[in-house]
Amino acid sequence: MSKESTIQGRKFRRLNQAILSHKSHKQQPSEFAAIRSLYELNTRPVGPHNLKEVMAEILNTAITLSRADMGNIQLFDEQSGMLKIIVHKGFQPPFLDFFANVYPHRSGREASCGAACVQRQRVIVEDVRKSPIFTGTAALAVLLEAGVMAVQSTPLISREGRLAGMLNTHYRQTIGQDEFNLYYVDLLAGQAADIIVQVQAEAALRASEEKHRLLSEALYHHRNNLEKLVAERTEELKRSERKYRTLIENIPMAITRHDKESRYLYVSPQWENNLGFNIELLKGKTWRDIGIPEDIYRLWQKQFNQALHTRAVVEFETQHPNATGESKDFRVQVIPELDEQGQVESLLTVSEDITERKKLETELQRLDRLNTVGEMAAAIGHEVRNPLTTVRGYLQMFQRKAEIDKYHEQFATMIEELDRANAIITDFLSLAKNRTIELKLHNLNDIINALQPLIQAEALRTGHKLKINMSLIPSFRMDEKEIRQLLLNLARNGFEAMDPGKALIIETGVKSNNVVLSISNSGPGIPPEVLDKLGTPFLTTKANGTGLGLAVCYRIADRHGARIDVRTAANGTKFTVSFRL
């Protein structure tokens, strides 16, 4: 069956057979015309657009065949339970206004159609004035004013038993029960019910299709909007991620994320810059997996366990070896990351490399000690040197007298010891913070060349080798005497730290806008407990040392705005002095 229903042929065949077989063959021409027009509906499509037109023809036919004077067809709304006039014939506005909407279950006794609807069977009123349906109701006056004396209401019930509406015919005269010509009304009521139900079904189908189409369009637009929104949000997240990554990857602190078993989940590039580890190789590994010393591993694990159990930020300072084994200092924050239930699901670490700060603190402590000794030196150095000079002068005078010539060797020893004491005082005075220096433009390579014979002689005396590698370097302002003393002190310390046969290496170069002087020896290295105290006055590991040589070097470097760095291992030590250009 098509979307637009047609009056079924078999229905009209039954109607035609009923007419031909009816005992009464005295139909008027108007009755035959009505039957003919209804029969022709078989070839006409019926849909929502022409339902009223078809219902009007059915109503006219019913009025004609039942010899009524007027009538109407009502549609039943299942949702509201209301009967509503769709077509009518022979009524004026007062009647139509009053009976426009009938609610059978609310007022079933005020209209025959309402009673028929409630009973689901035909209701015949032979005389409206005597009918209990209308007696004492406002409806009676409306009917009488419209000239209605009798009425019949036939429910339009489809073959499926569904109530589709009501076919009402009205008469201007009272009529006896046997005078109602209802044979055709039944046929027409069934036909109208089927048409209404089918048209309504098709209308519902079209409405459903339209709803589906609108829903599909809405879903299509919603999907497009959603895809657009997702794309926008995705791009926004990517921009946010880029900003976040740019921020994380460019801040000086190294950031790592670990699971609760301490395995690396994320490592920022700064960690690789700080320690030299390949960050991709760290992921999924613990500290123990990457081979850090056991004592450092236990410290890190202890802090992690505290953050896991307290769910609070933990701060601590520690050391961590880099890829070459060199130890670096870090200040670390361990930040627990909580899930929606407030449980720790991962741990974030923010590590700041404080190695340079630690070195600076050590340097400041060293300079503070030098300042203290320097102030003492400035206060007492001259007072001690003056008596020593007097004593030395008298000893030289007595040494020339013949009567004590037999004590010449003893006098020479005393003078030698006084000169040694005077040299110590000279070094002592070099520690003075405010000592005046004369800065002039010199080239460090020229000073090394001038001192090379003296250093080479010291190497031969101690049984060592000397290697000098000088690069092209710019000149800078320096106090030549002090730089000579710094170079000789560092070279002497290097020779004293090595066994005979090993080489001392002196090198120069330029690095990061600094002229660099480095002196390397192949000694056994400096013990950790001594390394942190290097440059402290009177600190020495030598049997005959004064502990002032390195202290003087640090003070000279300080006066020149230079920095001394020390790298030591079991196979040697390297002192690097960096002069800022």
**How does pLDDT run across 221-271, given as a tens digit for each residue?**
888 888 888 888 888 888 877 776 676 666 777 888 888 888 888 888 777
* 70 vs 295: which has the higher pLDDT: 70
Burial 537-561 (b: 16+ CB within 10 A, else e): beebeeeeebebbbbbbbbbbbbbe
CATH code at 362? 1.10.287
Neighbours of 419 (CB within 10 A): 12
* pLDDT at residue 244, rounded to an integer: 65
Residue 496 placed within a domain: yes
Quick: pLDDT tens for 455-484. 998 899 889 999 999 999 999 999 998 898
Residue 365 placed within a domain: yes
* pLDDT at residue 108, rounded to an integer: 44
70 and 113, same domain (yes or no): yes
* pLDDT at residue 238, rounded to an integer: 80
Residue 25: is its pLDDT beyond 50?
A: no
pTM for this structure? 0.42
Residue 21 pLDDT grade (very low, low, confident, very high; cuts 50, 70, 90)? very low
> Cα separation of 77 and 350, whole Å?
73
Select from 56, 90, 61 the least CA-distant residue to 73.
Answer: 56
* pLDDT at residue 24, rounded to an integer: 46
For the segment 85-109, the average pLDDT, to the nearest whole number, is 85
For the segment 84-106, the average pLDDT, to the nearest whole number, is 91
Quick: pLDDT tens for 122-162. 999 999 999 999 988 899 999 999 999 999 999 999 888 88
**Residue 471 C-alpha from the chain's centroid:** 52
118 and 28, same domain (yes or no): yes
**Residue 369 C-alpha from the chain's centroid:** 52
* pLDDT at residue 542, rounded to an integer: 60
Q: What angle (nearest 5°) sits at the alpha carbon of residue 275, between those of residues 274 and 280?
A: 105
Question: Mean pLDDT highest for which of 164-173, 207-216, 265-274, 566-575?
Answer: 164-173
Residue 525 Ramachandran class (φ > 0 left, ψ -120 to 50 alpha, else beta): left
For the segment 197-216, the average pLDDT, to the nearest whole number, is 85
Of 188, 205, 222, at which residue does a domain stop? 205
CB of 363 closer than 8 Å to CB of 271 = no
Residue 307 placed within a domain: yes
Q: What is the 3-state secondary structure (H, E, C) of 412-471?
A: HHHHHHHHHHHHHHHHHHHCCCCCCCCCEEECHHHHHHHHHHHHHHHHHHHCCEEEEECC
CATH code at 325? 3.30.450.20
Residue 519: is its pLDDT beyond 80?
A: yes
Residue 339 placed within a domain: yes
Quick: pLDDT tens for 277-312. 777 777 888 877 877 778 888 888 888 899 889 989
Quick: pLDDT tens for 327-345. 788 888 999 988 888 888 8
Of 285, 317, 350, at which residue does a domain stop? 350
Residue 174 placed within a domain: yes
467 and 556, same domain (yes or no): yes
374 and 271, same domain (yes or no): no
Quick: pLDDT tens for 409-460. 777 778 777 776 776 666 655 655 556 788 999 999 999 999 898 899 889 9
Neighbours of 329 (CB within 10 A): 17
Select from 172, 149, 167 the least CA-distant residue to 57.
Answer: 167
* pLDDT at residue 7, rounded to an integer: 42
Residue 559: is its pLDDT beyond 70?
A: yes
* pLDDT at residue 378, rounded to an integer: 55
Quick: pLDDT tens for 537-546. 665 666 555 6
136 and 163, same domain (yes or no): yes
Could you give the count of Cα atoms lying within 13 Å of 520 in the half-sphere of its Cβ?
Answer: 17
* pLDDT at residue 22, rounded to an integer: 44
CATH code at 567? 3.30.565.10
Neighbours of 72 (CB within 10 A): 25
For the segment 28-44, the average pLDDT, to the nearest whole number, is 63
Distances (CA, A) of 78 to 81, 104, 517, 577: 5, 12, 104, 101
367 and 466, same domain (yes or no): no
Residue 535 pLDDT grade (very low, low, confident, very high; cuts 50, 70, 90)? low
345 and 363, same domain (yes or no): no
Residue reference for tokens 């020229």:
446
Residue 556: is its pLDDT beyond 90?
A: no
Residue 230 placed within a domain: no
* pLDDT at residue 264, rounded to an integer: 86
342 and 460, same domain (yes or no): no
Determine which of 25-39, 72-86, 457-471 has the lowest per-residue pLDDT on average: 25-39
Query: Do β-strands 163-171 and 327-338 pair in parallel, antiparallel, or remain unpaired?
Result: unpaired
Which string of DSSP letters, residue by residue, matches 51-92?
Answer: HHHHHHHHHHHHHHHTT-SEEEEEEEETTTTEEEEEEEES--
Of 350, 368, 398, at which residue does a domain stop? 350
- Angle between helix 480-497 and 444-462 (nearest 10): 30
The total domain count for the chain is 4
Determine which of 17-21, 410-414, 565-569 has the lowest per-residue pLDDT on average: 17-21
* pLDDT at residue 200, rounded to an integer: 84
Quick: pLDDT tens for 374-390. 555 555 555 666 677 77
Residue reference for tokens 């002229």:
515
Residue 368: is its pLDDT beyond 70?
A: no
* pLDDT at residue 267, rounded to an integer: 82
480 and 381, same domain (yes or no): no
* pLDDT at residue 41, rounded to an integer: 63
Determine which of 66-75, 113-122, 211-220, 358-367 has the lowest per-residue pLDDT on average: 358-367
Residue 480 placed within a domain: yes
Give the mean pLDDT of the chain.
81
Neighbours of 232 (CB within 10 A): 10
Domain that includes residue 69, residue range: 5-205
Question: Mean pLDDT highest for which of 38-47, 346-355, 359-368?
Answer: 346-355
420 and 444, same domain (yes or no): no
86 and 173, same domain (yes or no): yes
CATH code at 53? 3.30.450.40
Quick: pLDDT tens for 354-364. 888 877 777 66
Tokens coding 25: 């063959």
Burial 108-129 (b: 16+ CB within 10 A, else e): bbbbbbbbbbeeeebbbbbebe
Quick: pLDDT tens for 208-230. 888 888 888 888 888 888 888 88
Residue 542 placed within a domain: yes
* pLDDT at residue 3, rounded to an integer: 42
Tokens coding 298: 């236990």
Distances (CA, A) of 199 to 50, 51, 577: 10, 8, 103
197 and 264, same domain (yes or no): no
